Amino acid sequence: MSTSTAHLEAVLQLTRTRTEVLEARRSRTADPVTLQEITDDLEHSRGYRAAVEHALRECGAAPGRPSARATRLSRCVSRIASGGDARQVAALERVLHAQLLDRTRALVRLTATGDHPAVHRWACRHLERYRHAAEPGASGVDTAGPVRSR
């Protein structure tokens, strides 16, 4: 498996997870402004995901089902996103946000030579979109205390 394919698969899994978290947040949110922000983020995340899936198909590494480990992680993330308190969800979103930005930066470098121009555009768009944005999920949530994992 090539480095770019590995990064594409990692970004695909992260965008899938981000979409699940956003959908869970949308189902629990009543504020119209927040709902619009979530809807915009969902649209962006789905577009990025579609571009990555297309690039994987072009590489001959068609996006398949997630691995068993990714599926377990996805279930855990969904449980936290749909049933966790605001602080847990904010911590989860910060971790996903940081991982996706890190992988996206690497993907921008890997695709800068012209490989997968659609993914390169989406990755650059993703970095630009979140360059000045506060960490997702941080608004209105007290995260001063430590977040412990189990």
Q: How many distinct structural domains can be found in the chain? A: 1
Beta carbons of 135 and 89 less than 8 angstroms apart: no
pLDDT digits (tens, 9 = 90+) for 88-110: 888 888 888 899 999 999 989 98
Does any domain span residue 66? yes
Q: Which amino acid is at 58?
A: E
- Provide the residue count of the chain: 150
Distance CA 54, CA 56 (A): 5
Q: Tell whether 23 is covered by a domain.
A: yes
Does residue 136 sit within a domain?
no
CATH number at residue 98: 1.20.1260
Please report whether residue 149 resides in a domain: no
Residue 147 lies in a domain: no
More confident residue, 16 or 65: 16
Report the candidate in 104, 90, 88, 103 with the shortest Cα–Cα distance to residue 149.
Answer: 88
Q: How many CB atoms lie within 10 A of CB 107?
A: 26
Confidence label for 133 from pLDDT (cuts 50, 70 and 90): low
**Residue 123 per-residue DSSP state:** H
Q: Which two tokens stand for residue 130?
A: 């979140």
117 located within any domain: yes
In-domain check, residue 91: yes
pLDDT tens track for 63-88: 666 677 777 877 787 787 777 777 88
Assess if residue 85 is contained within a domain. yes
Range of the domain at 46: 3-131
- Sign of the dihedral defined by the CA atoms of residues 39, 136, 67, 85, in that order: negative
Q: Under a CB-based contact definition with an 8 Å cutoff, are residues 82 and 28 in contact? A: yes
Q: Residue 23's closest CA among 41, 9, 11? A: 41
